Amino acid sequence: MNYNQFGKVSLVFSEEVSDALGVGKPVVALESNVITHGLDYPDNVVTAKKVEEAVRIGGSVPATIGVENGRILVGMNDACIKRFASTPDIPKVNSRDLPIILAKGGMGATTVASSLVAAELANIPFFASAGIGGVHRGAEKSMDISSDLIQFTRSKVAVVCAGAKNILDLGLTMEFLETHCVPLISYKSDDFPAFYCRSSGIRSPHRLDEERQIARAIKFHWSLGNNSSVLITSPTKEEDAIDRLEIDAVIEKAVINAEKDDVRGNVLTKYLMRAVDEATKGRSSKANMAVLINTAKVAGRLAAAYALLRKENSTCNHRT
Ligand code: PSU
Ligand code: MN
């Protein structure tokens, strides 16, 4: 072991991401847990590439995050995405697990939480994930609150998502965000979305319809001295959405079954998502893909708007 490197985190940038960061082009970080645990092979490869393409269409460069050989990858090429998508048993790595995986020198699929840690280290202020983790139903007893939420209170990264799946307690999830002063902005919608449902039925605290205004709000949050995230939600398109009542009934059954089967801890999220996929006979996986792609496109646009604002501001400051 090279002790000169003791405890030093290695970030391995893809060429595309490194070039983009070098010239100040907007970059959007993406998680890899959705590739390894959210979808099956080979759908996961196809989807991961479509998500990356959607970020590019939005005007930014995608940087899929993962851990390989104890190093943090910032940006994956096609071969790398395929490796993550097809290697069995890559562990799900949240912020708690990250230092241990780095010490072991292994592979790891990063959740929203650990991807934010990596994005911040890599100086990438934008991240996209269709569905964030949140407060689980029954959390008053289980205390199962996703570390994604805790990480939002610690990482200066703007997070674009389609809300969270209704497998969670979305009301409590929003309460948590408010308590911890994490701004929540809903883009072009009044309500907090619930992944493939355009509305969770819960009103969002803020709606903004202009990308530039969202970019300004993000900048203000950090100018005010906050070292935390800003959450931006964007609902899936009307034609791709699933009716909330239909999904709610399925989820309620899945939650009861999870309790019966004694499923808890970090495997619960996957268990519930799979149960919904099965009950809707693949309809939800199709809707799933649409949400992932739409969120990535919106994130690409918002990151571009933010980068433009930052550039204008720095040229303006030079002149004065
Ligand atoms: N929600 C989804 N799809 C996902 C996840 C959440 O709709 O794939 C994944 C993400 O990687 C998220 C993680 O960061 O689950 C949260 O897991 P937990 O609830 O164990 O913190
Ligand atoms: Mn959990």
Q: What is the mean pLDDT of residues 217-242?
A: 97
CB 269 within 8 A of CB 181: no
What CATH architecture does domain 2-319 belong to?
Answer: 3-Layer(aba) Sandwich (3.40)
Token code pair at residue 255 = 């939650």
Provide the pLDDT for residue 211. 98
Q: How many other CB atoms are there within 10 angstroms of residue 34's CB atom?
A: 24
Provide the pLDDT for residue 320. 46
- The active-site residue, picked from 16, 31, 52, 211, is 31
Domain boundaries, the chain: 2-319
pLDDT in tens, 4-49: 578 899 999 999 999 999 999 999 999 999 999 988 899 999 999 9
143: confidence class by pLDDT, cuts 50, 70, 90 = very high
By most ligand atoms within 8 Å of CB, the mutation choice from 137, 148, 247, 264 for ligand 1 is 148
CB 166 within 8 A of CB 247: yes
Element (H, E) at 182: none
Look at residue 3 and tell me whether its pLDDT is greater than 60.
Answer: no
Query: Could you give the C-alpha distances from 279 to 247, 249, 254, 287, in angstroms and in order?
Result: 9, 10, 9, 14
Least confident of 39-48, 234-243, 282-291: 282-291
In the residue annotation, 31 being an active-site residue is answered as yes
CB 160 within 8 A of CB 234: yes
Look at residue 284 and tell me whether its pLDDT is greater than 80.
Answer: no
Provide the pLDDT for residue 247. 87
Q: Which ligand is nearest to the CA of 134?
A: 1
Q: What is the mean pLDDT of residues 148-172?
A: 97
Residue whose pair of structure tokens reads 């002149």 in the numeric block: 319
What percent of the chain clears pLDDT 70, i.e. is strictly above it? Answer: 97
In the residue annotation, 312 being an active-site residue is answered as no
Residue 95 is given by DSSP the state T
How many A from CA of 315 to the centre of ligand 1? 39
| Rounded Cα–Cα distance for residues 161 and 175 (Å) | 17
How many A from CA of 154 to the centre of ligand 2? 18
pLDDT in tens, 186-207: 999 999 999 999 999 999 999 9
Residues with CB under 5 A from ligand 2 (ion): 144
How many A from CA of 133 to the centre of ligand 1? 5
Look at residue 318 and tell me whether its pLDDT is greater than 80.
Answer: no
